[in-house]
Amino acid sequence: MTTTDTRTPLAAPAAVVAGAATGRRRRASYVEPDRGALSTADWRRPAVRHTWRTMHVLLLVLLLVWCLGPLLLLAKFAFTPTADIQSTPLEFFPNGATTQNIEMAWTRYHIGQFFMNTVWVALGSWACQVLVATTGGYVLSVLRPRWAKLLNAAILTTLFVPAVVLLVPLYRIIVHPPVGGSLINNFFAVWLPAGASAFNVVLVARFFSSLPHEIFEAARMDGAGPFRLFWSIVLPMSRPILGVVSVFAVIASWKDFLWPFLVLKDQSVMPLSVYLQQMANVDKGTLMAALAISTLIPIAMFLIFQRMFLRGAGLGGAVKG
Amino acid sequence: MTTDDVVLTKFPTGTGKDRPKPRRTPATWVRRGGLTALLFGLPALLIFGIFSWWPIVSAVVMSFQKTNLTDPAVWVGLDNFKEIFSDPLLPTVIRNTAWFALLALIFGYPVPLIGAVLMSELRRRKGFYSALAYLPVVVPPVVAVLLWKFFYDPRPEGVFNTVLGWVGLGPYSWLNDPHMAMPSLVLEATWAAAGGTVIIYLAALTAVPAELYDAAEVDGASVLRKVWHVTMPALRSILLITLILQIIGTAQVFLEPFLFTNGGPNHATLTVMLWVYQLAFTSIGNRYGEATALSLLLAVFLAVLSLVYFRLTRSWSTS
């Protein structure tokens, strides 16, 4: 039920992988700028230059207002008294700023506790996805037993089944799992289904296929068994793709709403996104502070891992919830 | 591999053919790494088996059953489908979902394309532009919806009403108006998703071979002609894919109608996915069988749609 679950163009992962493997090196040695439709000669012509410069400036203004504007407003609301948010939302602190909203959200509504729940959800989903994707990819691309083709086909098929079909049957499995009691209000109810991401397995399997097989042969000659090969050769060589998968996994579980809303109902396990929905009707200032706090981590992650995000989104990420 | 076989059968050299075939016993299977392969395959087999393959199969089974998830399910044949098709809400729900998908295409399909083409011509700060465009995609969807819900405040003091008031428009009632509610939802959904599409197009644009532009220049093509005759055709297959993916995504929209309006006002924003949720998990429900039947219908429709789509556009995308 995570967003990475959703359908993705199958041609894309190979391209991500190629980009992930060589992107940094190529960028460093690339001297000439990539050319677009405009040539250097075009840029020298005043008419062309002025039109495109103007369009670029306009685009920048639009992006600032449309994409950054709402977030800046949210940041401002977090420090504005509720009365001012309600009556003059666009004025710049007409009656001064306050930190009371943040304090309320943190102490009275325990945002921190739900924040930690989200962190647990994200970490567990990440671990489960990485485990399934790396071991599965290893079987499909390196060990290649007879049944690998069948497994590959079965995993690929799930890419074409829309998430909507899984909702009710998956809920039934969580309520009555094959072993043990109901998993409602248990983190495993989110962690385990998150692992069933065909997209991840395909991505990692294609990356493993692109690794030089001579190295595997050499390692086998030196007496490395399949476990050693996996742990000491394949995994360390797969850092770029594991980075992409990890960022996807963490962001997807951070964004997920419907599934945790259905299975993590108790406040002791409820993630932030579900709790925010319950807070919708509290005092506006507190709500805005809570919203701002829950946006901070993903934005910070984005700014730190920017290149990984954009690379992943560019080629793998026609992914929409 | 076929050529090898042919050679071997024509000229039996004694290397492969004459060797007696080893019998496959459990012991040889283990020695050849069959067991380790199975061990490594276990996480994928278990997780996909229990949380992907089995639910897909049981979705089909459940759509023919009545169940409350605790008592044994009762086989009811096509009753669930009959009830869905005779429900007076069905036409409304289909119309709303189609309307959402159509509006999302109108708002969200051309804008990222234009933005990406403009951005790909940047000589500097391309990274800054794309980071800005991508920023809303990182915001948790619940946060985005709740924030925009406040922007859509119907009072004259609401954020959007204030801004529109500067140019003498409004105040509008946004989400409370049955005609404006859906476009309002789509506007927020576009805000949240457009950045991802921009990045996809940008990536595709860097892959356009520079020689094509050089060749066009030799032929004396103007800038606009280069964009139209070189850039656009190069983007064609990715444009076709994002179109169908966007339709598949928006047909399953849940979060916006659920959090903004909960299907209201007067069912104006009740979409298929929200109805599935309501049938299964709210007080009108525990109608799990019907919910599954409805979700299955949507999935089959989307599968048929994509098949037809790829058939129709096949010749067009590979040229």
More confident call, B220 vs B170? B220
Are B43 and A136 a contacting pair, CB within 8 Å?
Answer: yes
Are B298 and B252 a contacting pair, CB within 8 Å?
Answer: yes
Q: Which of A114, A259, A265, A115 is nearest to A196 (CA)?
A: A259
User: What is the ipTM, given to two decimal places?
Assistant: 0.83
Are A159 and A202 a contacting pair, CB within 8 Å?
Answer: yes
Count of residues making up chain A: 321
Give pLDDT, residue A123: 94
Give the CATH number of domain B79-318: 1.10.3720.10
C-alpha to C-alpha distance for A149 and A140, rounded to whole angstroms:
8
B140 close to A (CB below 8 A): yes
| Average pLDDT score, chain A | 82
Cross-chain residue pair B121–A295, CB shorter than 8 Å: no
Structure tokens at A270: 């409820």
Is residue A22 scored above 70 in pLDDT?
Answer: no
C-alpha to C-alpha distance for B204 and B293, rounded to whole angstroms:
38
Provide the pLDDT confidence category of residue A5 given band limits of 50, 70 and 90: very low
Residues 6+ apart with CB under 8 A from B136: A67, A70, A71, B144, B191, B192, B194, B195
DSSP reduced 3-state for B181: helix
Overall average pLDDT of the B123-130 stretch: 86
Q: How many CB atoms lie within 10 A of CB B94?
A: 16
Count of residues making up chain B: 319
Q: How far is CA B126 from CA A26, A59, A307, B15, B122, in A?
A: 17, 12, 12, 60, 6
Supply the DSSP string of B2-37, one letter for each residue: HHHHHHHHHS--SSSSSSPPPP--HHHHHHTTHHHH
Cross-chain residue pair B273–A164, CB shorter than 8 Å: yes
| Average pLDDT score, chain B | 85
Largest CA distance in chain A: 75
Structure tokens at A185: 């209000």
Q: Residue A212, preceding bond cis, omega within 30 degrees?
A: no
Are A263 and A193 a contacting pair, CB within 8 Å?
Answer: no
Q: Where are the alpha helices (H) located in A256-283, listed in sequence order?
A: 258-263, 272-279
The residue type of B49 is G
A69 close to B (CB below 8 A): no
Overall average pLDDT of the A23-46 stretch: 62
Residues 6+ apart with CB under 8 A from B202: A314, B116, B119, B120, B126, B130
C-alpha to C-alpha distance for B205 and B142, rounded to whole angstroms:
32
Cross-chain residue pair B299–A294, CB shorter than 8 Å: no
Nearest CA in chain B to A263: B281
A46 close to B (CB below 8 A): no
Is residue A20 scored above 80 in pLDDT?
Answer: no
- The mean-pLDDT minimum among A203-207, B5-9, B164-168 falls in B5-9
Is residue B316 scored above 80 in pLDDT?
Answer: no
The DSSP 8-state label assigned to residue A35 in this structure reads P
Parse chain A into domains and list their residue ranges: 3-31+98-316, 33-69
Tell me the chain A residues in contact with residue B296 when contact means C-beta distances shorter than 8 Å. Answer: 165
For CATH 1.10.3720.10, list the domain ranges present in chain B.
Answer: 79-318
Overall average pLDDT of the A59-73 stretch: 93
B196 close to A (CB below 8 A): yes
- pLDDT by residue (tens digit) across B215-265? 888 888 888 888 888 888 888 888 888 899 899 989 999 999 999 998 878
Tell me the chain B residues in contact with residue A193 when contact means C-beta distances shorter than 8 Å. Answer: 51
* Torsion (CA) A83, A86, A89, A92 in degrees, nearest 10: 0
Cross-chain residue pair A196–B197, CB shorter than 8 Å: no
User: What is the distance in angstroms between the Cα of A31 and the nearest Cα belonging to chain B?
Assistant: 13
Give pLDDT, residue A316: 52
Provide the pLDDT confidence category of residue A73 given band limits of 50, 70 and 90: very high
A128 close to B (CB below 8 A): yes
Are A141 and B261 a contacting pair, CB within 8 Å?
Answer: no
C-alpha to C-alpha distance for A294 and A302, rounded to whole angstroms:
14
Cross-chain residue pair A165–B296, CB shorter than 8 Å: yes
Closest in A164, A257, A310 to B252, CB measured: A164
- Check if CATH label 1.10.3720.10 holds for domain A3-31+98-316: yes
- pLDDT by residue (tens digit) across A178-230? 888 888 999 999 999 999 999 899 989 999 998 888 888 898 899 888 899 99
C-alpha to C-alpha distance for B222 and A227, rounded to whole angstroms:
59
Expressed in angstroms, the distance from the first to the final Cα of chain A is: 9
The owner of tokens 């599965």 is: A136
- The mean-pLDDT minimum among A15-19, A132-136, A220-224 falls in A15-19
Report phi then psi at B74, rounded to 5.
Answer: -110, 135
C-alpha to C-alpha distance for B233 and B236, rounded to whole angstroms:
5
C-alpha to C-alpha distance for A312 and A13, rounded to whole angstroms:
9
Provide the pLDDT confidence category of residue A23 given band limits of 50, 70 and 90: very low
Q: How far is CA A278 from CA A1, A231, A267, B251, B270, in A?
A: 21, 44, 11, 26, 20
Expressed in angstroms, the distance from the first to the final Cα of chain B is: 31
Overall average pLDDT of the A137-166 stretch: 90
What is the 3-class SS of B221-280, one letter each residue?
Answer: CCHHHHHHHHHHHHHHHHHHHHHHHHHHHHHCCCHHHHHHHCCCCCCCCCCHHHHHHHHH
Give pLDDT, residue A195: 92
The residue type of B169 is L
C-alpha to C-alpha distance for B53 and A36, rounded to whole angstroms:
45
Cross-chain residue pair B217–A39, CB shorter than 8 Å: yes
C-alpha to C-alpha distance for A193 and A205, rounded to whole angstroms:
20
Is residue A2 scored above 50 in pLDDT?
Answer: no
Tell me the chain A residues in contact with residue B56 when contact means C-beta distances shorter than 8 Å. Answer: 158, 161, 165-166, 169
- pLDDT by residue (tens digit) across A240-282? 888 888 888 888 888 889 999 999 999 999 999 999 998 888 8
Cross-chain residue pair A169–B33, CB shorter than 8 Å: no
Tell me the chain A residues in contact with residue B54 when contact means C-beta distances shorter than 8 Å. Answer: 169, 173
Are B142 and B255 a contacting pair, CB within 8 Å?
Answer: yes
Nearest CA in chain B to A65: B132
Cross-chain residue pair B280–A136, CB shorter than 8 Å: no
Cross-chain residue pair B203–A317, CB shorter than 8 Å: no
Structure tokens at A258: 């419907």
Cα B88 to the center of its chain, rounded Å: 28
- pLDDT by residue (tens digit) across B37-53? 899 999 999 999 999 99
Provide the pLDDT confidence category of residue A34 given band limits of 50, 70 and 90: low
